[in-house]
Every structure is written in structure tokens, then in C-alpha cells.
A and B are shown apart, each in its own frame.
Chain A
Amino acid sequence: MAGVRRVSRRDVLRGMAVAGLGAPLARWVVAEERPAQAGARELEPVPVSSRPRYPAIRTSEGVVQPQRPLPVLEETDVLVVGGGAAGFAAAVAAARAGVRTTLIERYGYFGGLWTGGMVLLVMGTHAVVQGKLQKTLRGIGDELLARLSKLDGAIVNYGEDRANPTVDPEATKIVMDEMVSEAGVRVLFHSWATDVVMDGERPCGVVVDGKSGRHAILAKILVDATGDGDIFAAAGAEHEQRLHAIGLVHRLGNVDRADRERLKSAGFGNLGSITPHPSVTWVNLRGPSSNALDVRELTRLEIQHRRAIWERVQALRKQPGGEALFLLDIAPQLGVRISRTLVGMKQLTRTEARESRTFPDTIGVGGADAGRGPQWPIPYGVLVPKRLDGLLAAGRCVCVDEKLIESMRLIAACLVTGHAAGAAAALCVQDRCEPRHVDIGRLQGLLRQQGAYLG
């Protein structure tokens, strides 16, 4: 039941590009489309965009996907997949180091769980060093927070001697947009990376699905900042998989008009944590321990949590003292804490972290979750797959033991590992080497130059 298809010159060109006549041509095609759409009349008819079709086919052996060529949407030096806290920092670091950098993100904004998941409290920014509270989150992550502090109503509790600020999600998205584009990163939103492109044993790009269909993006080095390790898993890197509590955050409005004491005595002690707006709080929900890689499970939890949130807010509004409260919004992203973690060249353990063990290849420093406790240097090895080349991991899926996961997945640590992974990827490109062979001295030099704190 295919629709009527007119074959245009563009189709022919596209077909040639698809058939492997070369990426430059394909890029030209993509580029050529842009001006046509600018300033167009609303509802103006355009030629039906048609692509070669490669539907999956049902056979007696099940559903199969026929072999198909993929248009190469882009070729780049460093490709960062996932625009959460880690991916953002990685892309900015790589681009600032002077290599071509592309960042792809499945949703339409940066920040991942931080903004879309509305986990607004940045934990682990400071640690106690020699009896004094000291900031351990520096570099690109801290630059972002500093920029937020220049805006009105964008961040609270930010400062040299104040640990763990809380941000406004929209302001954070906007400043991330700014910093990414200032650094010259090429961005693709609404693009799901669904597979990798392999060159023998080595990944050299990803397959991206979205409204534009399926494309390949080729790169010299990949940074997996998907949080779930989608890319290193697809590339066959050794990894672990875990269940963890999956929740859903929501925000309450008019909290300043609620009678907290009365609500507390009625059993509603938890009205959430502060945000930059006195009338708004964000309310965490832990949720059951579950498999974040199962879409049916994600769907079930999304529905179940949304209902629970609605009912709770209704119950709050019925309480004397809670009438003014309202459900401001529910986070657009489900709160997935952990799914896959990399098996890396080095596994950082909680014991090492608690001892503040230092490493020759330290690329950043984790802070104390609650602002009290020691700093913990993070070695480069946690970002590098044990055997796989061509790829670095960043964010909540890097290589740590079970006990350190809870600290490593916090936002400040994700910003730190992201920054380091981006810088390392840039050096791989510049020095034409694999991540495991990066010159640590040079990497540390670059990170310091970019403002990072290495202890």
C-alpha cells in the first residue's frame, strides 16, 4: 500500500549517495535541503520526501531485516552519543580541544536525567580535603554551573564553599545549548543511536534512527555517554548489567503556600527538595528495582508512577494545609539509575575511593556525595573498555564496583568523567592512537588547561 511516488532528481542523487557513491555527495544533499524550508508558508505543500525502502520481512524463520546500505549523515572526529551531563561535558571538551565533534541525543534537549529526569540537585561537587570543604567539580561542569549563577533563578546553593547546588532544568538546558554551540559542536537531537558501525573489531560510527530515517554517522573515536552503555554493548565490549530502582520525578507548585507542619503531622512529610524557585520543589521517587533495558518494563513503570504521582498530589490537595499545592509537571524522562556498567581497563572500587587513593592516571576527582567525606581521584582506566578499541565510556556507566556505583552515578561525577572522556577522545584523534594508548601526561595537561581539577 505504498503511496504514489514521484521520482525526482533529488531521489536519483540520494539513491546514488545511498548506493555508496560517497559521503560528500550525501552531505551535499542534506545541506541542500535546508534553505528550502526557511521562511516557508504554513501548510505549503512540498514534494513528498521519499527514501529507499528496506522494510523488514517476515519469513518462515521469523522477521528478518534485509541487507541495506546506509546513508552516511556525517563524518566526524569525535562522536559523542547521549547528551546527558556526561555527554555534554565530553562534547564541549573535545570540540574545545580542536577536533571535529558531533553530539547526538535521542530527545530534544541536553542534560538527560539532570534536566529531563528533573534530578535537579547536583551532588558530589565538593569534598573535605585536609579538614576544609573544597570544590572538586571544576572545568566544564563547573563552568556550566557558574554560568547558571549569572542568570536569574537558575541555580541555588552555588559557590566556592557551598556544596551541592540545585538548578532549574530549563535554564540548564539553555546554557548547555549555548556552551555546546559556542564550542562548535555539531548537534543532532531526536536521533536514537540504535547500533554501531564496525570496522572489523573496532567501532567506527553509529547507526542513528529518527524522523530522517536510518543513517550512519562515522567517527574516529566514539564516546558512549548514553548512561545505559547502549553503544559499548552494541560494539561487543564486555560489561555488567544490573537492576536498580527506577523512579519518576515530579515538581510541586505553590509549596510556599502549603502548611508543612500540618501536612507532616498528617503523614505527608516529604514535600520534596528545594529548587531555585521558592514556590517549587522537586519530589524524588525511588521506585522498584527493575530492568531499565526492557521497554515493556519502562512503559509499565511510566504509567504506574504517573498514576501514583497524580494520586499523591490529589491526596495532598485534600489535606488541610495542602489545598494550594498543584502538580507542576512530571519529568519527561523516567528515572533510570543504573543498567549497564562497563568492564574497563580499571575498576575503581569503593574502598579505593574511601581511602582517597591516588593514581598515576588520575583524570578527575569525585566529591563527597553529601559534601562531607574525602575526595576520590578517578583513574583514566575506568573510561576505557578492557579490550575494545575506538571507544570511551563516560557518565553513570563507567567501570566501578557495585559499591561505588551510587557515588559515580551522581551528576558531578558524570560531568567529571564526561569532561575527561571528551578530552581523551580529542587526543586520540590528534595523536592517531587508541584510547588505551593515550599519553596520560598530555591528557592531564589538556584537562588542567581546560580547568579540570586533578587533586
Chain B
Amino acid sequence: MEPRRSSEPRRAYRLDWRWLVLVLWVVLHWIQLPASWQRALDHASPLVALVSTLARRTISVTVGVAFFLGVLMMIHARPICRWCCPLGPMVDFLSRVCGRPGGPKWPVGSWLLAFGLGLSIVGVTWVAAVDLFVLTGCAARLIRQPTWDTAWVWHLVALPLVVSLLWPRDWCRSWCPLGALQDALKVLHRETTPSGSVGHGRWSRRHWMQGLVAAILGVGTGGHQVRSARAGVRLIRPPGALPEEWFRAMCWRCGACVHACPTRIIVPDTGRHGPSSWLTPRVVFDRGYCLPQCVRCTQVCPSGALQSITTTEAKRMHPIGVAEVAVAACWLTEGRECGRCVSACPYDAIRVQTDVFDSRVVVHREQCTGCGACEQECPTRPARAIMVRPLTS
């Protein structure tokens, strides 16, 4: 390998105990902690906590750890980077093995941070997806349960690694929004150059100005997103979802619900329904239907975009759509022996109405939860005669 041309003195690589944090993180997600614990892991990140609190305008108990870390940031330089960043050791390691210093040095992290805070002021929190705590959780889930559905997460995970490969240590110094937050909160100590050469040091005035611009941009973008989503198409969302525009705003696109669904009917949207819907979870009934007794997705959602539902009875009150019948396509219209949708319906919401030669399927909308059992069972092709449509609020 080419000799390093770094000006820094070469330090011996010592086993960093943050590796343990990474392993711990993966293990914690691996052993399938109770959903509330998993959520707490995400909310331990001060960035996530800040963004959620701003967006929801309520302080929830889960921010305790984050608050502690936040206080720590005020008195210590980069405490998270030093002690508990799960991705840090990997970034450091890659920075050591190759690449040469001298990246573009833009303070991308602070732009992102400010932009994200701007977004969250108007209730949009998807910026949390680039938080390293959240990302590590996503990656751990993917390792445990590999699927193409959320494989895009690897791109996000790869970003810091690639940046570190190209420009050693630049990720932590100037790209990481969590790093930028730590620098911004450095108010109570006088350190200008951080020990261990991580971070930009305290924010300069130029820095703050750029942040302000980014934040204003964030507010504008968020506001526009919410407004346009209000008029845009509705999608079938997992149970307990906020109204469409707020769902798109609040969802982190972390894929926790995608992984939690036992019938794998939750998939990330491909962006066909507008950029603001890209990667948000929607329900498709190719592989199964929404089981009446299952509330897992609502439990694992860390962002609050899916409101927690705890009982089967409560779930009935949260329809995700409503079944509609295309009478012309229905087998009964052709006089074929059918009624599979009737037996498939777990809520007894479908009946066959018969008038001599004319039989048709009738959906009782009050009982229908849009679970898709009927759609899954309907034999007509190419399109199914009974399909769940999104609720029009």
C-alpha cells in the first residue's frame, strides 16, 4: 500500500470500545427487544429526540437518554462520537486503511441538521432516517432479516463508509448531522479545536448563517410537502397511520414496520406516488393480508407516524382502506361458483346478495377494515374483482 501522506502523526490502532457498542446495537436489534425498547434505542439519539419533539410539540419520556447526552455535549466535545457512535469505529477504521485527507470540507452535516430542524418545525421528521442511531438499527434489522424490500438502507449505511474511504475522517468532521449537532451545542466549554481532531470545533458565524438559510429552506420544503400531500393521492397505509399528509411528514422511512409485518404486506413505496411518498410504507396484498389479531407494525414504529394500537378490538376502529367490488369482473356475474371473498373476510363484512340470476357481492363498509383478505382470495385475473381502496378522509 502506498505510504500515507497524512500530516497527522500515525497513531497505533487500538481496539476501540465503540466496536462493542456496534455489536451491542446489532445484538439488541437481533434478539428482538420489546418494541418499546427498540423505539427507545432510536430515541436515544439527541438528533432524533430533538426532531421528534419539535415536530410533535410534546416531550415524551423516551427523550430522557437523549437529554442526558445533550447536556453531556455541552460540556464535552463530541461525546457521542467518542463513546457511543455505533458507526464510528467502522468509519475510523476505513479512514485509516485508505484514502487521503483533503475532501471538500463543506459542512454538509450542519446544513443537513439545520434543514432537518427546519423541516421538523413544520412537522416533517423524515430527516431522522440519516441519523446514525436509526441507520444502525435499520442495518441490524436487515442483517437479521434480509429482504430486498428495504435493501436501499444499505445505500444510506454505505454513505459514511464511502465518504470515509475517499476522504479520511471527513464524514465525522463535516458530513454527519449528529456530529454537527454536537458541535453546535458546544457552548459551555472553550475548546476550539476538538481533541482527537474530530469535528469542526465551535460553530462560526458563517456557519450559523448557513444553518439559518438551510433551516428556512427546510421550513419551506416541509410546508410545501405537507400542503401538496394533502391534495395528492392516498395510499393504503399500515393500521394506525396518521392522515396521509402527516403520515408522509412524520414517517422516518426506517422500514421498522416493513420488517415487523409477519405477512410481508408492507412495502416501501417506490416513489410513483410523488417524491414525498418515496420509501414510506404502504400495504399491498400480493403476499397476504392484514391479520386481525396483529398490531406489530404499530408497536415498532419509532416515529409516531403509525399510532400505537394494542388490541384487536382497537384495530377494528382503524380501517386501512375499504373493499370495493368491480361487479363486471366478479365471477358471480358470470354465474361461476364463488363467494371466496365472503369466507375470506375475518370481519363478516361481505355478503352475497342474490336475485334469481343476478348475484352480487356487497361490502358493508362499517364492518370493513380494508384488511385485504378478500382481495387476496379473489380468483379473477388480471385484476381482482374485489380490491381494497384507500380511505378518502
Q: Which of B333-367 contact A (CB under 8 A)?
A: 333-337, 339-340, 342-344, 352, 354, 356-357, 359
B337 touches A123 (CB 8 A): yes
Contact of B354 among A286, A372, A410 (CB under 8 A): A286
A159 interface hit (Cβ, 8 Å): no
A245-B352, A270-B333 provided; 19 other pairs, C-beta below 8 A? A119-B337, A269-B333, A270-B335, A273-B334, A273-B335, A283-B335, A285-B335, A286-B354, A286-B359, A288-B354, A308-B357, A312-B357, A350-B344, A369-B340, A373-B377, A403-B343, A406-B340, A407-B343, A410-B337
Question: Which B residues are CB-close (under 8 A) to A406?
Answer: 339-340, 342-343
Q: A369-B379, A404-B343 are in contact. Are A273 and B336 (CB under 8 A)?
A: yes
Can you list 23 A-B pairs, Cβ within 8 angstroms, ordered by A? A119-B337, A121-B337, A269-B333, A273-B334, A284-B336, A284-B337, A285-B335, A285-B356, A286-B332, A286-B335, A286-B359, A287-B354, A289-B354, A305-B356, A312-B356, A350-B343, A350-B344, A369-B340, A369-B379, A373-B377, A406-B339, A406-B342, A406-B343
| Complex A-B, nearest 7 residue pairs according to Cβ-Cβ distance, in ascending order | A370-B379, A284-B335, A286-B359, A270-B335, A403-B343, A308-B356, A406-B343
Contact residues of B with A, CB < 8 Å? 328, 332-337, 339-340, 342-344, 352, 354, 356-357, 359, 377, 379
Residue of B nearest to A304 (CB): B356
Q: A119-B337, A123-B337, A270-B335 are in contact. Are A245 and B354 (CB under 8 A)?
A: yes
Closest chain A CB from B354 CB (angstroms): 5
Residue of B nearest to A373 (CB): B377
One digit per residue, 1 when the CB lies within 8 angstroms of any chain B CB and 0 when it does not, for chain A 283-317 equals 11111110000000000000001001000100000
Closest chain A CB from B357 CB (angstroms): 6
Report how far A132 CA is from B315 CA in the complex, Å: 36
Question: Which A residues are CB-close (under 8 A) to B333?
Answer: 269-270
A272 interface hit (Cβ, 8 Å): yes
Q: A269-B333, A406-B343 are in contact. Are A372 and B379 (CB under 8 A)?
A: yes
Report how far A272 CA is from B335 CA in the complex, Å: 6
Residue of A nearest to B331 (CB): A370
One digit per residue, 1 when the CB lies within 8 angstroms of any chain B CB and 0 when it does not, for chain A 386-409 equals 000000000000000011111100
Residue of A nearest to B334 (CB): A270
B343 touches A285 (CB 8 A): no
Report how far A284 CA is from B359 CA in the complex, Å: 11
Question: Which B residues are CB-close (under 8 A) to A284?
Answer: 335-337
Closest chain B CB from A445 CB (angstroms): 34
Residue of B nearest to A273 (CB): B336
Report how far A308 CA is from B328 CA in the complex, Å: 22
One digit per residue, 1 when the CB lies within 8 angstroms of any chain B CB and 0 when it does not, for chain A 182-208 equals 000000000000000000000000000
Report how far A284 CA is from B358 CA in the complex, Å: 11
Residue of B nearest to A350 (CB): B343
Closest chain B CB from A404 CB (angstroms): 7
Q: A402-B343, A403-B343, A404-B343 are in contact. Are A285 and B334 (CB under 8 A)?
A: no
Report how far A287 CA is from B339 CA in the complex, Å: 13
Residue of A nearest to B332 (CB): A286
Report how far A286 CA is from B377 CA in the complex, Å: 20
Question: Which A residues are CB-close (under 8 A) to B354?
Answer: 245, 286-289
Report how far A9 CA is from B352 CA in the complex, Å: 62
Question: Which A residues are CB-close (under 8 A) to B334?
Answer: 269-270, 273
Question: Which B residues are CB-close (under 8 A) to A286?
Answer: 332, 335, 352, 354, 359
Closest chain B CB from A163 CB (angstroms): 11
Question: Which A residues are CB-close (under 8 A) to B359?
Answer: 245, 286
